Amino acid sequence: MTNEEISTKEKILKTAYKLFAQKGINGVGIREIATEADVNVAAINYHFGNKTALYAQTVGHCMSLLRTHLEEGAKKIKSTSELALYFYDHLIVDHEGLITSFKLFIDTNTSLDSVCIEDKAIGPPGGEFLFNCMKNEYDKASEADLGWAVRTIFTQVIHTALLVSLHEKDVCTNTGLTKEDIRVQLTRTINVILKEL
């Protein structure tokens, strides 16, 4: 693939990411994506085939970015709780990306069966890195328990990051907690989950 083709594909993915998150798969057409990306419809058909395949690749690309970030953290962090907090901090910093990505994930009009198959048994994108980190720390834990812990920790991390990202002022005002207080509470929750191993 030439640099121009990569650039065109990236422009299409970036535009599709934004439009699919705003309008859902049924609310946006290929022509609108092409116009917004400043490419012709044939370029979308060439790179992706059809709108459903473009949607799947857009979600897959988004998951891949999350997975890559967790992989980077796993290379330098050996503590499960620290790795989970590293991921949380990334989600808070990129809160607009988190919100947009979550909108894509919860679009009920499309099945994500064809996306991110490698992580299905372990959980969310990058789940295997948290799983392996946990496995090294808790070598007596069963694979079933480790899988449960990965999914439970990710649920807490993503839920907390979404709440803080969407309702930062309200959460802090209504609860009297600062962002740091919320992070400390998340740390305690992660440690409670890990004690079950």
Going along 41-196, which residue ranges are E strands? none
Q: What is the pLDDT of residues 5-17, one digit of tens each?
A: 568 998 999 999 8
DSSP state, residue 119: G
- Domain borders along the chain are 1-49, 61-195
Instruction: With beta carbons less than 8 A apart as the criterion, state whether 33 and 68 touch.
Output: no
Q: What is the rounded average pLDDT of the residues 100-121?
A: 59
Question: Which pTM does this prediction carry?
Answer: 0.75
- 116 pLDDT band, cuts 50/70/90, is very low
Q: Name the one residue in this structure whose structure tokens are 């679009």.
A: 107
Two tokens, residue 178: 């600062």
Residue 122: strand, helix, or coil: coil
Pick the CATH number of 1-49 from 3.40.50.300, 1.10.10.60, 3.40.50.1100, 3.40.50.150: 1.10.10.60
Handedness of CA 42, 45, 50, 56 (dihedral sign): negative
Q: What is the pLDDT of residues 76-92, one digit of tens each?
A: 998 999 999 999 998 88
Q: What is the pLDDT of residues 14-39, one digit of tens each?
A: 999 888 888 888 889 999 999 999 99
